[in-house]
Amino acid sequence: SSSPVQTKCSTEMSRAANLQTCRFDSNYCAPGFCNAQGRFSPAKDLSAYASGSIVIVARSSTPDYTGFKVAFGGRGVPKTSIFGGGSFKANFAFPGTPVAGGPFEAVTVPLGDFSYDWSGFTGRCDTKDPARGLNQQHYCCPASGLTPSKPEVCPTPKYLEEVTDIEIWAEGVNGTFHIEIDSITIKV
């Protein structure tokens, strides 16, 4: 079983009528963030799914918001910056595939889209941090099609042996967002 979902938002987030807003945070030279996180106890062995996908069944009244991300952490995942890392993260977007009998959509995110080398300023793997982040260039997994890329930042069975948490983020993009999650699964 997993612990209750916890959410945390940067100080530049506001909440009104179930909508959240990311605003530019001058302390970080980037828009803010908000995330919801669930923990697994005990950790889950997902190493058999290294070539699989995460499927998020969700709905959003703001499907054009481009800052949605999904992340997962586990034992031994490298931390690559002072502001982020220690988990794999990937972007996802609506629309997904409609789910029969309801208002939800299934959004599929291949594990090849994930990278542990993501920016704590944007949440993305294809960006370079500002000077405050030491101008660090981040790298994507080659299977994502994003550049720059290198294979060592991809999820491998080694990093999937003890997955401890799953997270949904709205990050790095100014704008109002809304998302409701029905389920998150992994498939081969």
What is the model's pLDDT at position 26?
Answer: 52
Q: Is the per-residue pLDDT at 19 higher than 70?
A: no
Q: Which residues make Cβ contacts (< 8 Å) with residue 142, sequence separation at least 6?
A: 112, 149, 150, 151, 154
pLDDT on residue 11:
31
Tell me the average pLDDT of the chain: 85
Q: Report pLDDT for 176.
A: 86
Residue type present at position 60: S
For residue 130, count other CB atoms closer than 10 A to its CB: 15
Looking at residue 172, what is its pLDDT? 86
Indicate whether 97 pLDDT > 60: yes
The pLDDT tens digits of the residues spanning 42-80 come to: 999 999 999 999 999 999 999 999 999 999 999 999 998
CA distance 100 to 120: 37
Q: How many CB atoms lie within 10 A of CB 170?
A: 29
pLDDT, tens digit (0-9, with 9 covering 90-100), for 125-176? 999 988 888 899 999 999 999 999 999 999 999 999 999 999 999 998 888 8
At 131 the pLDDT is 84
Q: Quote the pLDDT of residue 24.
A: 53
Cα–Cα dist 29/132, whole Å:
8
- Whole-prediction pTM value? 0.85
Residues 166, 188: Cα–Cα separation, whole Å: 18
Contact 177, 19 (CB under 8 A): yes
Q: Report the range of poorest mean pLDDT among 1-5, 33-37, 107-111.
A: 1-5
- Calculate the alpha carbon distances from 183 to 78, 167, 186 in Å: 27, 12, 10
- Assign 4 a pLDDT band (cuts: 50, 70, 90): very low
Query: Would you say 56 and 184 are in contact if contact means Cβ atoms under 8 Å apart?
Result: yes
Can you give the pLDDT at residue 13?
Answer: 35
Question: Is the CB of residue 21 less than 8 Å from the CB of residue 36?
Answer: no
Give me the pLDDT at residue 183, please. 92
- Rounded to an integer, what distance in angstroms lies between the CA atom of residue 48 and that of residue 27? 41
The Cα–Cα gap between 90 and 172 comes to: 12
